[in-house]
Amino acid sequence: MNLLSEAAELYESSARVFEELGMRAELARCSLNLARTLFLTGEINEARLQIEKAETLFQSEGNLVATASAQVFKSQIFYLENDFATAKNLAENALEVFTKNKNLRFELFGRWLLGEIALAKNDLKRASEIFEKTLSDAENNSSSIENLCLNALGKIAVKRNKKSDAERFFRRSVKLTENTRSTLQAEEFRMAFLGDKLFPFLEISKIKLAEKDLKEAFLWLERSRSRSLLDAIETPSISADSSQHDDKIYAKIEKLRGELNWFYSRLNRNSTSGLEARKELKSLKKEVFERENQLLELERRLPKNSGTKFEFEVEDLQGRLGETVLVEYAVFDGKISAFLISQNDIQFYENIAAEKTVNEEIAQFLFQIKTARFIDKLSESNQKLALLRVIKHSQKLYDLLVKPLCLDAKKIVFVPTNQLHYLPFHALSDGNNFLIEICEIAYAPSAAVLANFFQKSGEDFHSALLVAFADEIIPNAEIEVEKIALSLTQSVKLKGKKATLKNIQQKAKGANLLHFACHAKFRPDNPLFSALNLSGENLAVRDARKIDLQNKLVVLSACETGLSKIESGEEILGLSRGFLSAGAASLILSFWTVNDDSTLLLMTDFYKNLRDGKTPSESLRSAQIQNLENHPYFWSPFFLVGG
């Protein structure tokens, strides 16, 4: 499932037990599997140590097949280090043992590795022979080796310029991957499983681009993006009263949630300093981490809906775009390209920038813009210099990512890729104006997810649920909801001790707009536990799915609510995932730590615009333009995800 950190932790803890009990054979197998896990995470030296340990133990047990399995894995490391002679020798010796002992699973792996060694040496004929024979024997015996052989044969066909053969192999690989993925119930499993299997999707997209078939190229790119999020949005979760649920598991989950909320409240209140305070903080975090892992493990056991079939139609999206242009970025071979989808056209801009260059500029831009949180401590002249530095990097990014596209649109939806997910495109400057001054801007994880947004009914936002939980750091939270309420026809306010998940669940049913003014915490170490701080508890990613958010606008007026860990396949892991998968039609989030005073002004303006009949996108744009006299740090953190 590619859940590598969890696998490594399980192997390490198991190895300690086997070693204490003197169970050498079990310890050897555990060490070998730990080595494989470390290899996949790039910890090659540690992997090598574990292989040596496993090999020594297997030899002492007289287990020839297991010893050979350790040697073939050593061969894979030598292959990675381009020592093809040593790799080939080890693999051939191991293969002889596997064949003699009729161990087909290890034999298939060894043969595939010999094929990869031949391919690396550009011996296409020999590599092709090995992969074809191994593929034939792997069918119905090892889907993972079957997939590896299909992709290898596809690569060889590309090298031989046989594009139709390459596409045939890659399509078979995709079909095999999607068939397996559809059987996995847990969303986390489906996402992790697909993470390292995107190669054939992108290769078919490249083949279609070479054939000038832009529509098919775009569809294959989309087929690799945000699939697990799309599953969650399109397929409602199994209800809590389902007979399929295990009451004992639910009881354990609720107990853990209660314990976690107690620890979270302690952490949220912990503002003391000193050695003892640091020790207490470390202890609290350890307790939290252990319970979060237990909770994840229990939730994986609950029945969930399987992966849905990908049924996205470009024509359907185009029919809903109107004046909007969708800009979807993609990375092919280290170069950023972009698809432009409008109501009547599909365009492709190839290799507009090197990804490495763009990533370096994004890092510089974000560093400069975030230092503005200290801008009031600078002299007037230094404040001007700080602004000039931000605009300089803003313009560089505009020139790299936007200018080559020759955009002429009133509304743009950006679908980012990789590090572009952290970039506020609306704060990029063409040298005269910020992009937000030129057009409306929204964001989406993928075009298929955007199409889903467009299908939602679109409320008029007359009834709002306003949630505020203030403290000395954000004293304006309650003032914010009071001012917002003045612009709304009907609103319910949950402030202070009333700001609980239970109250939110009850009151959300009658609202079509939810506004949260509180602290938020992005958890890069465990993104699914990113959360909003409420009264005595946290509202984490999974908790958002317990709230009725279908077709609602959700505004998260808090710090870093838009930050996510971006997994392979453009899967976003953070607060936004919870609210989107719960059915929100649009979501307003923040890129960084927001300023309390400027947020109060911007949100007040936003809701006045919404009251006057503007859409959420128009309202946010107008509010940001109204605050342009301030440094971009203050007006540009907020962005809209949705239609």
State residue 237's pLDDT score: 53
Name, of 451-455, 492-496, 534-538, 560-564, the range with top average pLDDT.
Answer: 492-496
pLDDT at residue 100, as a whole number: 94
Q: Which residue has the tokens 């997939």?
A: 147
* pLDDT at residue 4, as a whole number: 86
Rounded Cα distance between 545 and 163, Å, is 44
Q: What is the mean pLDDT of residues 214-231?
A: 93
User: Does 210 score more than 90 pLDDT?
Assistant: yes
Q: What is the mean pLDDT of residues 323-341?
A: 96
Q: Which long-range contacts (CB under 8 A, 24 or more apart) does 148-152 make?
A: 148/112, 149/112, 149/115, 150/176, 150/200, 151/199, 151/200, 152/112, 152/115, 152/116, 152/119, 152/127
pLDDT of residue 3: 84
State the average pLDDT for the chain: 90
Per-residue model confidence (pLDDT) at position 243: 44
| DSSP per-residue letters across 462-521 | -EEEEEE---SSSTTHHHHHHHHHTT-SEEEEEEGGG--HHHHHHHHTT-SEEEEES-EE
Least confident stretch, 268-282, 342-356, 402-416, 444-458: 268-282
The string of pLDDT tens digits covering residues 51-64 is: 999 999 999 989 99
Question: How far apart are the C-alpha atoms of 494 and 496, rounded to whole Å?
Answer: 7
Distance CA 234, CA 222 (A): 16
Highest mean pLDDT among 296-300, 452-456, 491-495: 491-495
pLDDT at position 493, please?
Answer: 94
Residues of the chain with pLDDT > 90: what percent? 63
Per-residue exposure over 158-187, b if at least 16 CB sit within 10 Å of its own CB, e if not: beeeebeebbebbebbbebbbebbeebbbb
**Residue 240 — pLDDT band, cuts 50, 70, 90?**
very low
Identify the pLDDT of residue 565.
Answer: 82
List Cβ<8 Å contacts ≥24 apart for 421-425.
421/564, 421/566, 421/570, 421/572, 422/362, 422/366, 422/563, 422/591, 423/362, 423/365, 423/366, 423/397, 424/591, 424/632, 424/636, 424/637, 424/639, 425/401
- 3-class state of residue 550 by DSSP: coil
Higher confidence at residue 3 or residue 320? Answer: 320
Q: Residue 189: its pLDDT value, please?
A: 82
Q: Is residue 361 pLDDT above 90, yes or no? A: yes
Give the pLDDT band of residue 430 (cuts 50, 70, 90): very high
